A and B are shown apart, each in its own frame.
Chain A
Amino acid sequence: MESTLGNALVLLAIGMITVFLILALVVISGNILIKIVNKYAPEPTKKLTRASRSATGTAPEVIAAITAVVETVTGGHGKVERINKIDK
């Protein structure tokens, strides 16, 4: 019994140290990754064409949302060419 309890205590120490170590590495690697991505691959600023804005009068965030939905639904094959508001 004593040796089993001893083993359980060893497991407690090893288990908790490992979990903390892994999550510490998650934090450290996450921070490094964010810095690298910020430095080498900043997100390209999406420029909406003047034509698309003036033609539709649609807010950029709405265009972005519609484009994202079309891309998801069509599996990347569909493209938004025009956005028309339908009056009922």
Chain B
Amino acid sequence: MEVLNKLYEMTAFGAIGEDPLTLVMLALALFLLYLGIGKRFEPLLLVPIAFGVLLANFPGGHMSVTPSTEIIEHMTILEIAKEHGIMNMLYYMLIKTGLLPPLIFMGVGAMTDFGPMLRNLKLAFFGAAAQIGIFTVLISAVALGFSLKEAAALGIIGGADGPTAIYTAIKLAPHLLGPIAIAAYSYMALVPVIIPLVVKYTISEKELKINMKEQDKLYPSKVKIKDLHRTKIIFPIVLCAIVSILVPSSVPLVGMLLFGNLIKEIGSDTNRLMVAASETIMNAATIFLGLTVGATMTAATFLDKTTLLIILGGFIAFAISIFGGIMAVKVHNLFSKKKINPLIGATGLSAVPMASRVANDIALKYDSKNHLLQYAMSSNISGVIGSAVAAGVLISFLS
């Protein structure tokens, strides 16, 4: 009998029943796994996050992230691994230091083509307008009782950029990292639902039929690119200099994005670096980011009113950002002969290239010849820069 008792104590059966909220978290983990695997919602990130939640909430495994305290912050990595387990070691080494989001940005840069943006530079402005959701939700969150730092971390979900949202949360409100990451990636996965929803109530059929190529023929651009390859090599260097001087706090993100892009554009001479950045490093960083962020989500830290407000606030931030981009195009069309399809504004979010693909599909529904993917990519890519700059502003003012 004593042996059976010891065997029972060795397992986690007893501990699971002790806290029913743990069961809620395990159910949430399974639901997220279903969304990632079954529904294919951002599986590359949602699957590691969901599995991180699962690992963290199985009692006795010591795989949950211990909230930061002064004692932990003064421990060495070896001491953290010994006393709090390897998940905490990974968290404090890779997440708390803010290392992984810039590494992911480097990979994103190595997979991004600035060509569409350079060909349609004017459209980059709409990437700025689509950041309005970040700041309006920041104000609303403050009114609801969040601190300025927490509100800023919440608002940045409106930028629709997972690594940027995580980076900002790490810097300003690390205790909200789990819900913010989940909200950011869930809404990014729901871009094909959210953009059509906002478009339905804000853009008329006539506007949706504005054909960008026809407008280009009627009002051709004055600037023609003769050597796109050389331009694309110099562009990230120039852009990095501008951003570094004006918003230095956004350099960890924007700088790494532009470095990744540079090694892509150089071509065969740096091909191995590009492959490492966009595949090896990016994939490893994504795994560790997902698992550790998931491991921050325990019943004690996740199941409260704040999480619900973050999920709701994130959605509103997302919708307002799309609305802001659309309205900016509408205002432009009031004063310009050359009309722009407001769908271009809706892609001012970062979610690259999904937002552009969704906008393209909507345009094709109304006019089968209206392919606006290349145009949408311009504001979409500038949205990545815009949200990283917005994050830089928030971090430099609030941290």
Across-interface contacts of B143 in A (CB, < 8 A): 5
Number of residues of chain B lying within 8 A (CB) of chain A? 51
10 contacts between A and B (CB under 8 A): A15-B135, A18-B247, A18-B393, A19-B386, A23-B385, A26-B124, A26-B239, A33-B231, A41-B227, A76-B271
Report if A87 contacts B (CB, 8 A). Answer: no
Report if A84 contacts B (CB, 8 A). Answer: no
5 nearest A-B pairs in the assembled complex, by CB-CB distance: A76-B268, A12-B135, A43-B227, A23-B128, A8-B139
Taking CB atoms and an 8 Å cut-off, the chain B residues in 107-151 that contact chain A are 117-118, 121-122, 124-125, 127-128, 131-132, 134-136, 138-139, 142-143, 147-148, 151
* Contact with A8, one of B131, B138, B235 (Cβ below 8 angstroms): B138
17 additional A-B pairs beyond A4-B147, A8-B142, beta carbons within 8 Å, are A5-B139, A8-B148, A11-B135, A14-B393, A18-B393, A22-B386, A22-B389, A23-B125, A26-B121, A26-B124, A26-B385, A30-B118, A30-B121, A43-B226, A43-B230, A71-B268, A75-B272
Taking CB atoms and an 8 Å cut-off, the chain A residues in 1-35 that contact chain B are 1, 4-5, 7-9, 11-12, 14-16, 18-27, 29-31, 33-35
Known: A14-B393, A15-B390. A33 touches B235 (CB 8 A): yes
> A74 to chain B: closest CB distance in Å?
8
> B289 to chain A: closest CB distance in Å?
25
Report if A66 contacts B (CB, 8 A). Answer: no
Across-interface contacts of B226 in A (CB, < 8 A): 37-38, 42-43
Contact with A along B90-115 (1 / 0, CB 8 A): 00000000000000000000000000
Report if A72 contacts B (CB, 8 A). Answer: yes
Interface of B is mostly: helix
Known: A11-B152, A38-B227. A71 touches B394 (CB 8 A): no
* Contact assessment for B243 and A22 in the assembled complex, using a CB-CB cutoff below 8 Å: yes
Known: A5-B143, A11-B397, A16-B135. A29 touches B231 (CB 8 A): no
Known: A11-B394, A16-B132, A27-B124. A33 touches B271 (CB 8 A): no
